[in-house]
Amino acid sequence: MLRIKRCRRASSNNKKILISGLVFTLVFGGVFGVLPQIAKAADPTATSGKAKMMNTGEYLYFDAAPYGSNVTVSDPDPGDSNRRTLAGYSWSTDFGWINFGDAVHGGPVKVTYATGDLTGQAYALNTGGFIDFDAYNSNAYIDTTTGEFKGYGWSNDGGWVNFEDTGARVDEEGKPNNPTATHGYSSAAKTLEYTSGNWGMASGPAGPYFEWSGATDTAGTSGYALGVDGYWVYFGTDPTAEPTTAGAYQTAAT
């Protein structure tokens, strides 16, 4: 843990600082990504977000709130070519409940392990219609690294259902790993590197300058990893400070 203590300002352009620590934590997102592993979880993993009905502008909701949607994605099944299986219901503001796990009406919807392609049909309870992931040039899939839904599925009730960049995804579990290396310099030119616990001079506004690396988001029990989106960084005198409340959020690793 590297903490930066600002002691006094000699002038408007020079700062004397004591280098002893930088406290930071990570949040999910999508900068550093890792390939998924086949990981067995105790239970299927929930989904969230929504897909857009292109003809009406309405949505198919995967979030638990406010409608109570509960679609899940199973772990890879070694007895079924490592395919994953979707189960549960999502709410369509156009057509009501959509069952992704109906084994009677063309389902359940499954995920091809190697490509993430969605196959099968999701059944619309109120209309008897379906969202087809096999025919009609449907190309919906779940990104094998991030767990994000992509592409389009065809609804015989409402036309194309857009999963592309609408926020639908398999929820990730666990936390990313913190950076493994942190360095501090007197300026962005990095000609003088600080040693933790020692005094150092920095000439503003170019310094001091800090950078870190090695932050990774490993695939948790879901087998998907969204990656690291950014960092909560705290500069101050309190070694017990919580970066998410006392620090600032940034996406750059500097």
Give the model confidence (pLDDT) of 63-94 as tens digits.
Answer: 999 999 999 998 888 889 889 999 999 999 99
Query: Quick one: 180 and 164 in the same domain?
Result: no
Query: Quick one: 56 and 114 in the same domain?
Result: yes
pLDDT digits (tens, 9 = 90+) for 229-241: 677 777 777 778 7
Top-confidence residue, 100 or 169: 100
Query: Quick one: 58 and 112 in the same domain?
Result: yes
In whole angstroms, give the CA distance from residue 133 to residue 115: 14
**The pTM is what?**
0.61
Q: 158 pLDDT exceeds 50?
A: yes
Top-confidence residue, 171 or 13: 171
Tell me the average pLDDT across 33-59. Answer: 68
**Secondary structure class of 246 (helix, strand, coil):** helix
Domain coverage including residue 201:
3-33+175-250
Query: Quick one: 158 and 54 in the same domain?
Result: yes
Measured from the Cβ of residue 253, the count of other Cβ atoms closer than 10 Å reads 19
Query: Quick one: 12 and 111 in the same domain?
Result: no
Q: Please report whether residue 39 resides in a domain.
A: no
Q: Please report whether residue 38 resides in a domain.
A: no
Query: Quick one: 125 and 197 in the same domain?
Result: no
Measured from the Cβ of residue 82, the count of other Cβ atoms closer than 10 Å reads 15
Q: Please report whether residue 148 resides in a domain.
A: yes
In the chain, the amino acid numbered 200 is: G
Question: What is the number of structural domains in the chain?
Answer: 2
Query: By mean pLDDT, which of 23-27, 44-48, 120-124 is the weakest?
Result: 23-27
Max CA distance (Å), the chain: 76
Q: Which of 144, 170, 196 corresponds to the end of one domain? A: 170
Query: Quick one: 110 and 222 in the same domain?
Result: no
pLDDT band at 226 (very low <50, low <70, confident <90, very high): low
